Amino acid sequence: MSTHSSPEDFGNQLDTVFDRFGHLCVGIDPHPYLFDRWGYDDSSRTLSEFSLRVLDACVGKVGLIKPQVAFFERWGSAGYAALERLIHRARESNILVIADAKRGDIGSTMQAYAQTWLSSGSPLESDAMTASPYLGLGSLEDTLRIAEAQSKGVFVLAATSNPEAREVQSAIIEHGDNTGSTLARSVMRGVVAFNQASGKIVGGVVIGATVDLRDFAVDADEFAGMPILAPGFGFQGADPKDARRLFGPLAQRLIVTETRSILEAGPDGINETIIRRAGLVAEALR
């Protein structure tokens, strides 16, 4: 049955994918150095061919892809056309698409971003998007509402793996009751509160696989069952076999994202690499 045929909430869609294909998500980053590794020139034509070949290698092996929108945007209208083709073909193939757009704004502007990536019938309609809460988590309220209405997901940046983020994301936020928590934990609690009020799993968070949750005063038990998008496995150093140790109760809906560790295999090796990496992830989260 198609993962897009019923209005079930995003958490249920994820669970279906995990049951059928496991927790591996293949990142699609059409980086110029990867074109070179694949024997391609750096052009908009190559962009589309590369992306679709990666997708074709994913079909039947994994249930999630995460295109990095920036690498498509650099080609302007041709890049967006390539991204539209990729998203459409992926969703037709029953692969959930997480648009890694990292949008963050206020008011009608953020609403327009959400409609772009999450609204039914949009040329760029995806199953989920990434969003930035650093204009205040409240600025994402309409985004979460649109996702809720469309049975989509939103992954909010919480504890990212880039070292310069730790100073901000581990900062203590004072609450009205004279208690405090780190910004990362505050973001996570806000997303959980939305899910609880909705009665659906709509929001998840981005947590880098190379971070130590203790640095952000995050207790995994508090957020068990929350969808977690975790880049940083593979090339960036995190090993899938450590996923359960790293994330504990958060492993239930953990999305293990790998990009360069798969794409660097090139056109001749990508099929075998996806099968191998998916097997490693499945073994780790069995």
Which of 193, 207, 228 is closest to 18 using CA atoms? 228
Return the axis-axis angle of helices 183-198 and 141-150, rounded to nearest 10°: 40
pLDDT tens series, the chain, 286 aa? 234 434 589 999 999 999 999 999 999 999 999 999 999 999 999 999 999 999 999 999 999 999 999 999 999 999 999 999 999 999 999 999 999 999 999 999 999 999 999 999 999 999 999 999 999 999 999 999 999 999 999 999 999 988 898 888 999 987 665 567 999 999 999 999 999 999 999 999 999 999 999 999 999 999 999 999 999 898 787 899 999 999 999 999 999 999 999 999 999 999 999 999 999 999 999 8
Single-letter amino acid, residue 125: E
Catalytically active residues are 102
Instruction: Produce one character per residue of 5-35: b if its CB has 16 or more CB atoms within 10 Å, e if not.
Output: eeeebbbebbbbbbeebbbbbbbbbbbeebb
CATH fold, domain 10-284, is: TIM Barrel (3.20.20)
Return the axis-axis angle of helices 107-118 and 141-150, rounded to nearest 10°: 30
Which of 69, 34, 87 is closest to 235 using CA atoms? 34
Which of 202, 201, 208, 210 is closest to 184 using CA atoms? 208
Residue 50 main-chain phi, psi, to 5 deg: -60, -50
Single-letter amino acid, residue 266: G
**Cα distance between residue 165 and residue 31, in whole Å:** 23
Domain ranges of the chain: 10-284
> Residue 63: what pLDDT?
98
Give every CB contact of residue 254 below 8 A, 6+ residues apart in sequence: 23, 228, 230, 243, 247, 285
The burial of 228, by beta-carbon neighbours within 10 Å (0-12 exposed, 13-18 middle, 19 or more buried), is given as: buried
The burial of 174, by beta-carbon neighbours within 10 Å (0-12 exposed, 13-18 middle, 19 or more buried), is given as: exposed
**Cα distance between residue 178 and residue 279, in whole Å:** 47
> Residue 176: what pLDDT?
62
